[in-house]
Structure 1
């Protein structure tokens, strides 16, 4: 749609956009009108006549390819070569309609637009608009990243399509090369397009994590972010770097906050999963915001859990070097962790976090439907709940490791609200049992979100429809094929499967859910807890 033209219908069904076969981003009110930088487009138009005199047909072909998501055309912004010796030589392109269809399918499955005042803030909701703008601005890195994740999304559904997998990987490599060139320009280091590019590349790693050729991975990863080229957390390190470069002002605009939230969420997940320390800037950025808003408060709360888990890891490291004389510090940290968990258990209160609990009318043994089913206002609220639960599970796992390190001969009492203080050995046993109980309860609550996140029920249904997936081995069309729900579930279920305190039955069920995520979202990398 034209920049200042209002949609005639609700997102995403604008008739003008449908007729033009374009993705409609829509506008909710006048305050959300987007004003774009047209300098690059004007410069392009100014030089167009010269190029037409030199090679009219070639230029028109190149512009068409850039605007239709083709991966064969060269770009003035990107330096990838079509030579066969290039580590990311571009594959023979699909026709433009097929490219557009792949991208449209990715948007429809993974982009979540803001809904109501008390509902989801959206997920990747800025991507369609940014993607529309890149065909005028020449930012090839984001375009290639979207193509890579779109092809990967199709390639990993149903029987694996090796040609599309290869094409997705080559688009991924081309995007990395273009991104390396982009980062050489100081003004582009802080642009929204650059940050969104890394967010999309990170999503590609989740959807299709397969080993790139060493030369490709080493060259591009080293040239962009880290000295550890094939690290699983490379994009997270890149996101940290970009957030630092963008500075504190990035969070005060609608688009800036949306991008910050996406990147910061991923960084926090990496910190919890891969035992990375929190960034010093994180607290300063978030403390400047109003924590009365649910999204901001949630980010602050999860950061507190991440920081105390880091303290627990540092203490465990010291205890491994010296097992004596540390009991008092362990006791103090245990008390702080229990106090934080008591506070954390009250964080998700209020109407915006409310959900309904249905009793499974079928046999509780079904892997499709657990004994209790949670119904949330939308998928994002369910994801936020699961993120919170998963962070608490990780914190209690650290707490159990701290308790296990205590010298049991010490008679120092632990002041706890759960059990009267007696001896350290008795109190440690009681606190350990309590933490395991909390972990098992949180795991069951995560399982209760699976039916809605995978599309078996929605927020309007009171009675779930049973489908025997164990016998058919297939996902029904439409319902039960929620790719975004599978992505939202992935990290939590992987953590559950690797949690030492989970019961054998819970780990077995987590494995069954992961197998279903493989069928729904085409996610092959299901073996580690990184997500």
Structure 2
């Protein structure tokens, strides 16, 4: 008896399979046209099916950044399929996705020929984007913004400053699209991505979140579920970034208590949001005492529904760690003043609690690495719990880089854990030729040396 087809897992898997089928079909058609043009009397052997660099790059991109090569359901960049399906043949989007796919494949397999193809597609994508930006009609298309967002992954190879300039360009494009851009769920997702990247650039740079982006955030709120933990985390990210910027500008004239009050309000909002997130995206903690210690720290492996859930949780942890560091700085500064004994004890107690929170957030983040690198499965995945024959994926490394840096530079991180993090960043950087990861590893090495 024939079994019923279970169907595709979801939209993302369907997109990948459709694109693969389309790639094969289009290549066969090209081969057929070439054979016809060559003439019926040509008796030379027929060449085998060989996809073009564009097709290789796009499929690799979809497989690694949208679906996840081993994990189920939602991948790291799960908002791409809608744009790709609606405007998949747009040359700007095709060139951008192909460039990122080719460079990640070239770096992970050490194939210089693919790297040269990737650079050519990158230059083509940049040219197409510049042309699109000069056109009032093309500049506001979702495919143009999606092209700019995807090339941000390519820029991570170059370095932090280059990536920041790219993020600022993406934000400027979002602003130029205006308040009328939020016509579909995918436009909200793209806005969320640009906002998240802008928060990272602000937190680790010297600029606040631009006011026009905050105004767009208010507009977008009318077109999405603002009660969702994911949306709330995005808003909290902008608040953290601007609080840190204001604190950096602070000259010391005035009370630090005002900053502590704002940080406390954000902290309380985080607590409520994390409670909601635990309901929306629950996860379980497991122990793998025999797991590879280069991948699994202290035997702990946390398992999430999919890569998307890990991304949301780790975004929350990164932001909370930054907020905790702000609070620690403020508390230490206030404790240096002449305080009443009761207030001194209260502030000291809160400082210790904040340091404990920092430690927990770091441990929780590090426990996501096996699954994020696709070396461990989700709770519903029937595969073996840890697959050590597969040594990680590029999209997971990209997603983990800044979080590893946050934990690595944290004052409560132990020396052994810091060395483990340095090795992970160096591995990500060397295996993907990503200079951002390598530079961050160097920063942590300096911090470790200063710690003694």
TM-score category of the 2 structures, normalised to the smaller one? 0.7 to 0.9
Residue 454 of structure 1 is matched in structure 2 by 373
Check conservation: 2:65, 2:76, Cα contact below 8 A: no
- 1:196, 1:381 → 2: CA distance? 22
TM-superposed CA distance for 1:371, in Å, is 3.7
Residue aligned with 1:374, SS: strand
The count of corresponding residues between Structure 1 and Structure 2 is 402
User: Aligned pair in 2 of structure 1 residues 502, 189: CA closer, same or farther (>3 Å)?
Assistant: same
Check conservation: 1:376, 1:382, Cα contact below 8 A: yes
Matched, 1:148 2:99: yes
- 2:265, 2:14 → 1: CA distance? 48
Q: Which moved more, 1:396-405 or 1:442-451?
A: 396-405
Residue aligned with 2:199, SS: helix
Residue 165 of structure 1 is matched in structure 2 by 115
Matched, 1:111 2:32: no
Listed as ranges, the matches of 1:404-419 within 5 Å are 404-406=332-334, 408-411=336-339
- 1:175, 1:17 → 2: CA distance? 20
Q: State which of 118, 122, 133 in structure 1 corresponds to 2:89.
A: 133
- 2:199, 2:62 → 1: CA distance? 25
Gaps of 5+ in 1: 1-7, 24-59, 62-94, 135-139, 212-229, 320-324, 414-419, 468-474
- 2:354, 2:18 → 1: CA distance? 56
Q: State which of 456, 476, 501 in structure 1 corresponds to 2:389.
A: 476
Task: Pick the structure with more helix per residue.
Answer: 2
TM-superposed CA distance for 1:18, in Å, is 5.8
TM-superposed CA distance for 1:171, in Å, is 2.5
Q: State which of 154, 158, 163 in structure 2 corresponds to 1:204.
A: 154
Q: State which of 433, 437, 441 in structure 2 corresponds to 1:526.
A: 437
User: Aligned pair in 2 of structure 1 residues 119, 174: CA closer, same or farther (>3 Å)?
Assistant: closer
- 2:335, 2:385 → 1: CA distance? 53
Check conservation: 1:358, 1:375, Cα contact below 8 A: yes
Residue 436 of structure 1 is matched in structure 2 by 355
TM-superposed CA distance for 1:130, in Å, is 5.3
TM-superposed CA distance for 1:395, in Å, is 1.7
TM-superposed CA distance for 1:98, in Å, is 4.2
Residue 174 of structure 2 is matched in structure 1 by 243
Check conservation: 1:123, 1:262, Cα contact below 8 A: no
Matched, 1:379 2:307: yes
Q: State which of 271, 275, 282 in structure 2 corresponds to 1:349.
A: 275
Structure of greater relative contact order (alpha carbons < 8 Å, 6+ residues apart) = 2
Residue aligned with 2:301, SS: strand
TM-score for the superposition, normalised by structure 1? 0.66
TM-superposed CA distance for 1:446, in Å, is 0.4
TM-superposed CA distance for 1:122, in Å, is 2.3
Cα RMSD (Å): 3.6
Matched, 1:264 2:195: yes
Residue 87 of structure 1 is matched in structure 2 by none
TM-superposed CA distance for 1:358, in Å, is 1.2
- 1:167, 1:120 → 2: CA distance? 24
Residue aligned with 1:126, SS: helix
Q: State which of 422, 428, 435 in structure 1 corresponds to 2:343.
A: 422
Gaps of 5+ in 2: 1-6, 26-32, 35-49, 442-452
Residue 91 of structure 1 is matched in structure 2 by none
TM-superposed CA distance for 1:522, in Å, is 5.3
TM-superposed CA distance for 1:381, in Å, is 0.8
Check conservation: 1:250, 1:256, Cα contact below 8 A: yes
Residue 505 of structure 1 is matched in structure 2 by 416
Check conservation: 1:236, 1:266, Cα contact below 8 A: yes
Residue aligned with 1:111, SS: helix
Matched, 1:332 2:258: yes
